[in-house]
Amino acid sequence: MAQHSTHPGGASRVRRRALLGIGVLAVLVALAGLAAYLTREGRSPSDTAAPPPSSPTASASSAAPSGPHARPRALPVPPKTYDPITYGKAAAAALWSYDTRAYSQPELRKALRGWLTTESKYADPASVDQVVPSATLWREMAANKQVATAKINEGHFPHAFTQALQDDPGAITQAYVYAVTVSGKQSIRWKGSAAGGAESRSTTLAVQCRPNRSCALVGVMPSVAP
């Protein structure tokens, strides 16, 4: 099969490097548009260490009581971990939690952006901003002293991601970005509520875990990958 290209060599090289970075995640593109995170122009270092192991049994949850009279909660701080599932569970808990009594909407948005990878060509801050209540809604929630907490049930690599990783484990070594699906429950309480409300939640996150570097969030996928 001939591979003569009629396109400029520079563009071809950039495209091939981008494809290498997303090869292991290509099966999730239709679900989540993850290629948008990983095919942006630019180059990242190519590490050779093996991908970090998963920890399906690791747990993460938001701590502290959730009632409107409970002590105000601090802004979420990312954990120091090399395990994408552990990090994904902690990130989901942070994204599903807030305390309108303790901080403002811009402060929460800034704190959550602090979870993102510093590699700007991979980070997708807009996907994180979308899970934060709007400024208008936040004012209404703050008037009612609304608080949300999260309980994480489990986290795992989506089946398609695991299969792709088994088929071509070396493909991930360009960007070291992992898909992690997390499920749990969000509980919400507000001033004057006796019991509040709760609902089941699930999300798929893109998490970057380069060798010898603590994990970081890449973005929130718009669809959940099973």
Q: Is 93 helix (H, G, I), strand (E, B) or coil?
A: helix
How many CB atoms are closer than 10 A to CB 24? 29
How many CB atoms are closer than 10 A to CB 8? 9
> What is the reported pTM?
0.73
Q: 160 exposed, middle or buried (CB, 10 Å; 0-12, 13-18, 19+)?
A: middle
- The low-confidence residues of the chain, meaning pLDDT below 50, are 1-33, 35-66
Task: Give the residues across from 197 on adjacent strands.
Answer: 188
**DSSP code for 76:** P
Please name which of 208, 223, 184 lies closest in space to residue 52, comparing C-alpha atoms: 208
- Residues 6 or more apart from 80 whose CB is under 8 A from it? 214
Q: Is 88 helix (H, G, I), strand (E, B) or coil?
A: helix
CA angle, residues 13, 19, 24, in degrees to nearest 5: 150
Do the Cβ atoms of 201 and 184 come closer than 8 Å? Answer: yes
pLDDT of residue 170: 84
The angle that helices 105-113 and 135-143 make with each other, rounded to 10 degrees, is 120
Q: Supply 211's token pair.
A: 């060798």
Q: What are phi and psi of 169, to 5 degrees?
A: -65, -25
pLDDT of residue 1: 47
Q: What are phi and psi of 22, to 5 degrees?
A: -105, 5
For residue 98, the surrounding DSSP H or E stretch is strand 98-99
Strand ranges (E), 118-220: 147-156, 177-189, 197-208, 216-220
User: Tokens 């009594």 appear where?
Assistant: 101
Instruction: Work out whether the CA dihedral 121, 36, 171, 84 comes out positive or negative.
Output: positive
